[in-house]
A and B are shown apart, each in its own frame.
Chain A
Amino acid sequence: MAGYIVRRLIMALPVLVGVSLITFILLNVVPGDPVLEMMGKHVDPLTLEKVREQLGLNDPLYVQFGRFLFNALRGDLGKSFKTGQPVTQMIMDTFPTTVKLALSSAFVAIVLGITVGIISAVKQYSFFDHAAMITALAGISAPIFWVAVVAQLVFGLQLKWLPISGYSSPKHMILPAVVLGIRFAASIARYTRSAFLEVIRQDFIRTARAKGLAERAVIFGHALKNAMIPVVTIIGMQISGLLTGSLLTETIFAIPGLGRLSIWALSNRDFPLVQGIVLFTAVVFVIGNLIVDISYAFLDPRVRLQ
C-alpha cells in the first residue's frame, strides 16, 4: 500500500509541473498588467518600469518560470505582488477556513444525501421517493446565491436564529454549511438512489432476503457497501472541489476562504499568488483522488491497489 501511494505521488509530479506551466502561459498571454493594477488611476510610466523591474517581470519568461519552479520545489511559492506576504502563508491563512466550511457542508451533504437516497431506493415510487427526488432536482437547479439569500432572510433577519454572515463562531458556519451542503446532498441523494436500486435487484440481495435476514441487515449489511462505490467517487470529487473554495458562498457569507482569495489574486493579476493557488489546488485534487482510490479497496475487497 505504501509503495502504491509513493508511486501515485511520483506520477503526480508531471501533472503538477504541467498545471503550473499552463497557468504561467495563460497568465502571460491574457491581457492585464499586475503593476497597472497596483497603480490605480494615476499611471506614472517611470514607476511602472521601476516596479516591473523590482518584481522581476522584465526577465525573460523562461527565467521567470524556472525561478518559480525551482523555488516551488523547495517549498517556496514566492511573495504576493500586491501584499508582499509569502504566498504559502496567504494560502495557509485561508485554507483552514475553507476546510472548516468544506467539511461541515460535506457532513450535511453526506448525512442528508445518503439517508434520503437509501430511503428513496428502498421505498421506490412511494410518495417519499417522488417528493425527495423532486426536492433533490430543485436543490441541484436552484442557484446557490438565491438559496443563500433566502436562508439569510429567513433564519438570520426574520427568525434571528443564526448570524447573517461572518465566521467567528461555530454557529456562524451553520447557514453556509447547510446552503452549500444542500446542493451536494441533492446530487448524492440521486446517485445513492440509482446505485442502491441497481444493487438491491441483484441475486445476492434476493438470496439474503430468501435466507430470512431482517430487512435492516439486508440494507445495511449487504446492499449499502456495494452501492457505495460510485457514491464515494462523487463524494471524493465534490470534497476536493469544496476544499478549493466556494466563491459564491464565501462572498455572500463574508467568509475569508480560498475561493475569494483566488478571484482576488486573479483580478489583481497577482501572478505568484495565482500560481501558488493553482498549484495548491492541483495538489488537493491529486490527494483527493488518491484517497478515493484507496477507499475503494476498503469498500470492495475485489479491488487491489497495485
Chain B
Amino acid sequence: MKKKVLAFLLVVLMITAVLAGCSGPKNQSTPQEGAGGEKSGGILNDYFESDPNGFDVQESTLIVSYHLARHIYSTLLRYKGDTLELEPELLAKMPEISPDGKTYTFELKKGIKFHDGTTELVADDVKFTIERMLDPKGKGMSKWLFEPILGAKAFMEGKASSIEGFKKIDDYKFQIILEKPYAPFLHNLAVPAASIYSEKLVKAAGDNWRLNPVGTGPFKLKSYVPNTEIVLEKNPYYFEEGLPRLEGIHYRIVPDATTALMEFENGTLDVCLIPVNEYQRIKDSGKYEILEGVALNTYYFIMNLSDPMWSDVRLRKAVAMAIDKEKLVEALYGPRGTVAKSFVTPGIPGAYEQGTGPAYEYNPEEAKKLVKELGNVGKLQAWQWGGERISDANVAIQAMLKEVGLDLEITIMESAAFRQARSEGKIPASYGNWWADIPDPDNYLYTFFARTNQMSSGYKNKEIQDLLEKARYEVDMEKRNELYRKIEDTIIREDVAIVPLFHLKNLLATQKNVKNIILHPTGVNIYTYAYKE
C-alpha cells in the first residue's frame, strides 16, 4: 500500500515537473537597429483590467477602448509627445482658423493607407466619421466631440440628411464650420473617440466592424479572444517612416490587480499599474523602471447646492477647512498625489493659479467656529460610488469632519444606481474624481457647473453660468483664460461648490528592457515609439 502511495506521489511530481518545464516567457524577439541607429523590435506584453467588448471606439467610452483606438486608428490631430501641444497626425499641417473662430480649413496628408494596404484616406472619410458618430440611428456615444459643428443638432434630430458645417474642397481638403466659435474644438479632434474611419471599409464590414477594425494607426488587429487576449501587430503601411518600433502588442485581460503585479514580477508582463501599497517595494527593488507623468485629473468632494442640507455657505466652508488635503493624499496615494489648489488641473491654460496652496487651507479651529455659529446642522449625507465597504477616502473625510463637529453619513450606492441618481441631480454630496477628456477648463467647469450640469452639483449662480457660456465661445485666448480664472475663483472660493482635494500622477512600472513608452496626461499611453531591448 505504502509503495503505491509513493509511486502515485512520484507520478504527480513528474507530471508537475514536465509541465513546469514547458513554461517560460513567450513573445520574445530580437531587437533590431535601423540605419539612423534607432532601435526597434519586440512584442510588448501588456494587459487590461477589463475587456473592450469590440473595437468600435465610437460606441465606447471606456479608457481601454481609447488605448486600443490610439494604436489601431489615427485622429486628425494628436498631442506632441507627453505635452498638451497639438500637432497634425492625419493632417499635412495645422488647420487654418478664420478670424471669427468659426471656419477651420484642413488638409489631409496624401497617400495615407488603411491597414488593408489599398484604401486611401480621403476627405469623404472624415465626413463619414463625423456623421456616423452623430447618426440618430447609430450608436455613437461621444456626440459631444462633433456637436459644435454647424448643423450637427439638426442632423442628430434627423432633420437634415447631412451636416451643413462640413464642406469638401477636394479629396484632401475640407472645411469644418462651427455654429459658434468654440476654442477647444481642435482638442476634441485629438480624442481617440474622434478616430477617422474609412467609409468604404466600414460599409463593407457592416455589423462585423466592431470586431474587425481597419484603421490607419501604427498597429493592426491580429486576433481577439473576448475576455482573454488581444493581439496587435505592426502595420506595414503606417504613414510614418520607421514606425512603429514594436513588432506587436500582446494584451491579456487580467481583472485582478494583485495577479497582474505577480505576472509582472514573474516577467510575463512587461508593464504594470502598481497598486499604491506596493509602490515603494517595487521602486526600492531596483529591478524595474518606474515611469511618471502628469495626468489630467482632480479628486474632489462635491456638495449638491440644490439640496437644502448644503444651502449655507458657512457649512460648505467648514467642510473645505476641515479636510486636511495633505494628510489625505499622503495616506491614500503617497508620492503619487499632490494637493490640489484648483479644480482645473494645473498646467492647463486657464487653470486657477492664485496662491500656492488650496483655496481653503486645513484650519480645523476656523471650521469649528463656523460649525458653532451654524448650531445644529443635523446629520449630513454623502454617497459613495460602488464598493463593498466605505472607501478609505470616505472614512478619512468622515473622521476629519467629525473632528470639527460635523456628522457625515456615507451611503454606498451601486455604480449604475449612482450614475442614474447623478444624471437626475439627486446625489447629496460625494467624494469623486474627474479625469478630463481634453486639456481645457471648459471640460471641467462646464461639465460640472453649467445650467445643463450632469454631475449633481446643483449649482445655480446665474452670473457664473452666463460667464461659462461666454467663455466657451470666446476666441481671444487671453480673455478666455481670464474668464475661467474668475469663474473658478467664484466656484471654489466664494460659493465653495466643490472642494478640490488632490491630483494624481500617471504611474507605470516597466521591465528594464522596455524603452520609450510615452505616458500622456490624457491617460492614453503612446506605444508608437516604444521598443524592447
Contacts and interface: CB of A to CB of B under 8 A. Distances in A.
Interface stretch (A2-10, A43-51, A58-66): A43-51
Given A152-B262, A160-B20, A260-B255, A33 B53 contact: no
Contact of B256 (A39, A171, A251, A267): A251
Contact of B54 (A47, A83, A159, A166): A83
Interface stretch (B111-119, B134-142, B302-310, B367-375): B134-142
B255 A174 contact: no
Nearest to B53: A83
Nearest to B263: A164
B143 interface: yes
A221 interface: no
Interface string B147-168: 1000000001100000000000
B258 interface: yes
B415 interface: yes
A161 B19 contact: yes
Contact of A153 (B144, B227, B262): B262
Interface string A20-63: 00000000001111001111111110110011001000000000
Contact of A94 (B210, B227, B416): B227
B253 A160 contact: no
Nearest to A252: B256
B169 interface: no
Interface stretch (B239-247, B277-285, B418-426, B472-480): B418-426
A267 B415 contact: yes
A151 to B, nearest CB: 11
B262 A156 contact: yes
Interface in B1-47: 16-17, 19-20, 22-23
B253 A256 contact: yes
Interface in A251-274: 251-254, 256, 260-261, 264, 267-269
B390 interface: no
Given A149-B258, A269-B416, A256 B228 contact: yes
Contact of A54 (B137, B413, B416): B137
Contacts of A169: 22
A51 B19 contact: no
A32 B210 contact: no
A143 interface: no
Given A83-B53, A153-B262, A38 B141 contact: yes
A167 B419 contact: no
A162 interface: yes
B85 interface: no
Contacts of B137: 50, 54
A157 B141 contact: no
Contacts of B147: 44
Contacts of B23: 160-163, 171
Given A32-B420, A43-B423, A167 B228 contact: yes
A254 B253 contact: yes
Contacts of B252: 166, 254
A202 B345 CA distance: 78
A28 B137 CA distance: 25
A287 B237 CA distance: 54
A93 interface: yes
A177 to B, nearest CB: 13
Contacts of B388: none
B262 A164 contact: yes
B461 interface: no
B419 A36 contact: yes
29 contacts: A30-B417, A31-B414, A31-B421, A32-B419, A37-B419, A40-B62, A40-B142, A41-B447, A43-B423, A44-B143, A44-B144, A47-B141, A83-B210, A84-B207, A160-B20, A161-B16, A161-B17, A161-B23, A162-B20, A162-B23, A165-B254, A165-B259, A166-B252, A252-B259, A254-B253, A254-B254, A256-B226, A256-B227, A260-B255
Given A40-B141, A260-B255, 19 more contacts: A31-B420, A32-B417, A33-B423, A38-B139, A39-B141, A40-B62, A41-B437, A41-B447, A50-B136, A50-B137, A54-B137, A162-B16, A163-B23, A164-B262, A168-B228, A174-B19, A251-B255, A252-B256, A252-B258
